[in-house]
Amino acid sequence: MPTSAFIHTTSGLTIEKGSVTWESPSNIALVKYWGKKENQIPANPSISFTLSNCKTITTLYYKKLSSPSDEFQFEVYLEGKKQDDFKPKINTFFKRIEQYVPFIKEFEYKIETSNTFPHSSGIASSASGMSALALCIMSIEKELNPSLTDANFTKKASFLARLGSGSACRSLEGDLVCWGMHKEIKGTSDLFGVKYPYEVHKNFKNYQDTILLVDKGEKQVSSTVGHNLMHNHPYAENRFQQAHDNLSKLIDVFKSGDLKSFIEIVESEALTLHAMMMTSLPYFILMKPNTLEIINKIWSFRETSGLHLCFTLDAGANVHLLYPENEKLEVLDFINSQLVGYCQNGHYICDSIGFGAKLISK
Ligand code: DP6
């Protein structure tokens, strides 16, 4: 599909002002996106579980300007407080999407956003935040073009969200979303996320994700910088091939419900992601001592209990503990008795697989 298919053409309709509210969840990658080409094209395909409780709620107020402006006109508020430090990222997002939604310079905006998780939790809000904002922009497009189908609305929202933050394009739907062309998964694209189209065993229904908050501080190295270090990385080509291979293996795993293989693939992906960081130039480490303590505790508890919990990491020190719903009681007991001590202020967040973004009001 050419990117030109996403360009909005005028319908002749006009809007004076309005507001729209969307909520959009975060997601946790099983096969990781790490490395990108020009225009937010991923270097390898990825797949994620959409989350349910960790989400961003964004209201976009828009008002027609008397004449289109040269600059993007907007103010951003996080939890009611003006947040000027969000502006550069949103400005870059607007610049990248302008050619696809040329009407955006005709309006001025007030963006009001809040997260269900603490901003300073070390949980990346870019996936939920950028997808919520992309959906709000798409609601303006839908007002200008009422014939836009729901399927095309979601596809273009994912396309735009990707231009804000790559992983954001996987947050619109659930429960499993792929992004990046993969030869064995029908409909996959580098341009937007798609719902995983094949059979998924009941073992993976309502899978749980407890996020152990090891370090709530700002990341020392942003994902964007990390992705760029995959250019000229000595292991890049093998890593990209490994992501393709792991996705191929997951097709069988999702079908059969083989939790042992699932654990092996997911943990290997998490450690490979961090291995890429440790072997780039400059090299860096985002795990903290408590991240490793938790990983070792998980391994020994898994060994002794025979349960199917495993971990994954994103670009930070927090640990996502993944497990099937029917093991929830034992795993929560394990967390409370053996892991909370490694979490900053004893904090963790219980989440589970979700089904994507929702329109709250228009
Ligand atoms: C480690 O989507 O945050 O979480 O496209 O530069 O905004 P940008 O990067 P971002 O990268 C996420 C990386 C990851 C893995 C993943 O979610 O697949």
pLDDT interval class at 2 (50, 70, 90): confident
The alpha carbon of 112 and the centre of ligand 1 are apart by a number of angstroms equal to: 23
What's the confidence (pLDDT) of residue 177?
98
348 CB within 6 A, ligand 1: no
The alpha carbon of 315 and the centre of ligand 1 are apart by a number of angstroms equal to: 8
Q: What are phi and psi of 351, to 5 degrees?
A: -135, 175
What's the confidence (pLDDT) of residue 351?
97
What's the confidence (pLDDT) of residue 229?
97
Instruction: Provide the CB-side half-sphere exposure for 38 (13 A, CA).
Output: 0
Minimum-distance ligand 1 atom for the alpha carbon of 28: 17
H helix intervals, 41-194:
87-97, 126-144, 150-164
- What 3-state class would DSSP assign to 324? coil
Q: What is the arithmetic mean of pLDDT over 257-263?
A: 98
The percent of residues in the chain predicted with pLDDT above 70, rounded, is 99
- Taking all residues of the chain, what is their mean pLDDT, rounded to a whole number? 95
193 CB within 6 A, ligand 1: no
- pTM assigned to the model: 0.97
What's the confidence (pLDDT) of residue 120?
67
DSSP annotation of 314 reads -
The alpha carbon of 50 and the centre of ligand 1 are apart by a number of angstroms equal to: 14
314 CB within 6 A, ligand 1: yes
Tokens at residue 250, please? 């997951």
- Span 45-57, pLDDT tens digits: 999 999 999 999 9
Residues sharing a CB contact under 8 Å with residue 314, sequence separation 6 or more, in sequence order: 28, 29, 32, 124, 273, 320
Q: What is the arithmetic mean of pLDDT over 197-205?
A: 97
Please say if the pLDDT value at position 217 is more than 90.
Answer: no
318 CB within 6 A, ligand 1: no
Edge-to-edge order in the sheet of strand 310-312:
310-312, 319-323, 208-212, 348-352
- Span 268-303, pLDDT tens digits: 999 999 999 999 999 999 999 999 999 999 999 999
Which residue has its alpha carbon closest to ligand 1 atom 3? 223
Minimum-distance ligand 1 atom for the alpha carbon of 31: 18
- Span 328-355, pLDDT tens digits: 999 999 999 999 999 999 999 999 999 9
pLDDT interval class at 118 (50, 70, 90): confident
Report the C-alpha gap between 333 and 214 in whole angstroms.
Answer: 18
pLDDT interval class at 44 (50, 70, 90): very high
User: By mean pLDDT, which of 28-37, 44-53, 216-225 is the weakest?
Assistant: 216-225
In the chain, the amino acid numbered 274 is: H
What's the confidence (pLDDT) of residue 8?
84
125 CB within 6 A, ligand 1: no
Burial of 346 (0-12, 13-18, 19+ CB in 10 A): exposed
Burial of 213 (0-12, 13-18, 19+ CB in 10 A): buried
Report the C-alpha gap between 136 and 202 in whole angstroms.
Answer: 34
What's the confidence (pLDDT) of residue 220?
79
